[in-house]
A = this chain, B = another copy of it.
Amino acid sequence: MFGHAAVSIERFNTKAAFSDRPDAPSGSQLKLAKHRVVVRAGDQAERFFEVESGAVMAYRLLAAGRRQLVEIVFPGGICGLASGDLHESSCETLMPSVLRSFKRSDLARSDALRVRIVGRLQAQLSAMHDHAVSLGRKTAEERVCTLILRLRDVERDAATSATAIALPMSRTEIADYLGLTLETVCRTISDLARRNL
C-alpha cells in the first residue's frame, strides 16, 4: 500500500537555505522560488524561519516513499523550529516566498523574539489540532472541503494585506497533506466540481 514514491530524488540533493552561509545575520530576509528546500530533516537545527509571504510545507518521510505533509505554514508562521538538535521535519516552499531567518540561539537571548514566537506557536499548535481531527476522523470529501475552505480564508486574508495569489498545491501535495492518495483527491475534487463549486 501507499505506493507512488512521491518526491523526485533530485530534490533531496538540493542544499538547504543558508547551508552555504552559516554566519548570515539574524533577521535577514531570504527570497525563495517555488519548491526550494528550506531545511532538511537530519540537518543540524541552527536556524528557524518566519514566513513573511508565500507558504512553506513541513513534511516527514517514511519508508516505501510514504510522505506526510505535517504542516502548511502561512505568512506569520514559523518553520524549521526543532525541539532537539536535529531537524525532524523537512521544509520546502510551496510557492515563491519571503522568509526571515533567525538563529536558534537568539531565542535564548531576545525577549522580543520570544514574545513574537509564543503567539505564533500557539496558533500553529491549534492548527495542528484541527489537522489531527481531519486526518483522524474525517472522510476524504470532508478533508478536501476543509482544506479548500482554509485556503480560501488564507487567500482572503492575504488579499487585504497584499496581493492575492492563488495557492498552488499539486494533487500529490494535497494528498500527502490530507493523508490520502492522489487518485482519491482527484476523484473527490472531480465529484465536488460535478456538483457545485
Contact = CB atoms under 8 A, between A and B. Distances in A.
Interface residues of A, number: 43
A90 to B, nearest CB: 11
Nearest to A66: B137
B132 A121 contact: no
Contacts of A68: 132-133, 136-137
A135 to B, nearest CB: 4
Interface of A: 1-2, 58, 60, 62, 66-68, 70-71, 81-84, 88-89, 107, 111, 114-115, 117-119, 121-126, 128-133, 135-139, 176, 178-179
Given A1-B139, A132-B135, A81 B114 contact: no
